[in-house]
Structure 1
């Protein structure tokens, strides 16, 4: 199983570096992507095992990771992982987690200090994408990156915030997540809410891709004729490339998520974009091609 903690590559003038929090079997495969039979996983064993599926336990393998982009002289983080000491009673894997923190990993594997970060992109507001937005300073949550602008999708901020009753109170983790990882960034004045489309710089553009959450988004990178799309949680497993109509068990609006996924994957094929999901193990990056009504793996990046 690959663990490319210091993987780096270029998209034109944009340098991309991957910083992995962890990679491991996470959930039963048939539970993660409901509606897909066991034969889909077994028939694609060569492509899925061991980086995306553990046949021994029949669990899907996922990674938690932050992508560090250097674009136009600025440092941009895409998602910030789980964080330490968080109350996440609905998910034992995230609850009160300890270990090496993101600041230490960024320093060791990307040469980035908290004060070096200019922009933090949260593709959506789930606990495993916003956890290191903040850290505990003498009992108070404060922004981890003191000079950064935090880009938050406005529909998610409404849905998961107090105006949306913290996701309608369906999951206690949502309220904890907002209060410890989002509210402090608003309080510090570093949050910028956006909707629809947001241009970060000449190379980087955020676009709405709702369904997984109301504000789920993708980040497109275009530089010197090269292209990539960071798709967040539109994809949890490569089986969703083969069967894009199937959403994960974590998607709040599965049909809408499937429509967003179809649209984003179709454009990736048409424009030759590298596809960079939030949770893929292995190299974490794949090129895809059209295959009948769906898609197939053209090439996994080394």
Structure 2
């Protein structure tokens, strides 16, 4: 757990787990594993298929007036087809408590998109039923995201993962806790919700502003640092690879021009860094420790 503490806004990373559970050839079909050999989070013994190391994290944002959780990782005790996600028992909830926040303290849950590793902690099992983990929160979801995953096309895609909508999203709808949006908006002065579609039809990013600093929570717009050097590189799991690449280019131009910290959901280490324009491309420089000076993210 890493805390970033500016003067009037606090951001905590809540890391659920990490794994080397995705092969390069699975995640980036046709990509030569040697292409990622020099990037962080590329692993694998010599002579074996290279695997990518990913972290799974949420971000907790407090602006003095509201408490906002961005994404909910995989969750505990949920049946998933991928072994690395199946029936987990992680201390994610204990790590939330360690920040001084209880589930009932959360005002908003922003779900960047409806993939299994972003919605799990939206619900927990109580007396045999999946119920909302954050009973006083409004769960914010892009309208197109809901419509897609509850369509026949979305349902077919669930076959490879297990039906995580049934245990992690439908209970939220049944309790009337979901607010839909379809365009950019703000929560107070510090938090901006920004649709950045492509990876999924309603994929969303979150920008947090504290003084002169910005932190751009990029969700799954980027999965691996190679996509910063090669923003055209999509994954097997992008619904619209061309649009996802355009969203990456927009983000890279923005964070490099503004100096915002970039924090994708799955980068390892601190998961956060600066993006610098280099020639006609970009370079990502991870922050090695989380800054904690007043007024800075």
Q: Does the TM-score normalized on the shorter chain lie above 0.5?
A: yes
Give the equivalent residue in structure 2 for 1:3.
Answer: none
Which residues of 2 match residues 168-207 of structure 1 at below 5 A? 168-172=155-159, 176-207=163-194
Give the equivalent residue in structure 2 for 1:252.
Answer: 239
Q: In the alignment, is the contact (CA less than 8 A) between 2:17 and 2:90 conserved in 1?
A: no
1:149 partnered with 2:142: no
Q: CA deviation at 1:88?
A: 1.8
Q: In the alignment, is the contact (CA less than 8 A) between 1:167 and 1:175 conserved in 2?
A: no
Q: CA deviation at 1:246?
A: 0.2
Q: Distance in 2 between matches of 1:92 and 1:222?
A: 37
> 1:184 aligns to what SS in structure 2?
helix
Give the structure-2-normalised TM-score.
0.91
1:63 partnered with 2:50: no
1:296 partnered with 2:283: yes
> 2:270 aligns to what SS in structure 1?
coil
Give the equivalent residue in structure 2 for 1:7.
Answer: 2
Which residues of 2 match residues 19-34 of structure 1 at below 5 A? 19-34=14-29
Which residues of 2 match residues 52-201 of structure 1 at below 5 A? 52-56=41-45, 58-89=50-81, 91-95=82-86, 97-108=87-98, 110-161=99-150, 164-165=151-152, 167-172=154-159, 176-201=163-188
| RMSD (CA atoms) | 1.8
Q: In the alignment, is the contact (CA less than 8 A) between 1:34 and 1:246 conserved in 2?
A: no
1:217 partnered with 2:204: yes
Deviations 1:41-65, CA, capped at 9 Å, x for gaps: 22x2xx51xxx12142521100011
Q: CA deviation at 1:168?
A: 4.4
- Change in 2 beyond 3 A, CA 1:210/1:86: same
Q: CA deviation at 1:73?
A: 2.5
**What residue ranges of structure 1 are gaps of 5+ in the alignment?**
1-5
Q: In the alignment, is the contact (CA less than 8 A) between 1:276 and 1:285 conserved in 2?
A: yes
Q: CA deviation at 1:170?
A: 3.1
> 1:83 aligns to what SS in structure 2?
coil
Moved more, 53-62 or 185-194: 53-62
Q: CA deviation at 1:301?
A: 4.1
Q: Distance in 2 between matches of 1:267 and 1:11?
A: 21
Q: Which runs of 4+ in 1 moved over 3 A?
A: none
Give the equivalent residue in structure 1 for 2:292.
Answer: none
Give the structure-1-normalised TM-score.
0.89
> 2:188 aligns to what SS in structure 1?
coil
Q: Distance in 2 between matches of 1:152 and 1:171?
A: 18
Count matched residues.
Answer: 286
Give the equivalent residue in structure 2 for 1:40.
Answer: 35
Q: Distance in 1 between matches of 2:121 and 2:105?
A: 15
**What residue ranges of structure 2 are gaps of 5+ in the alignment?**
290-297
Give the equivalent residue in structure 2 for 1:230.
Answer: 217
> 2:163 aligns to what SS in structure 1?
helix
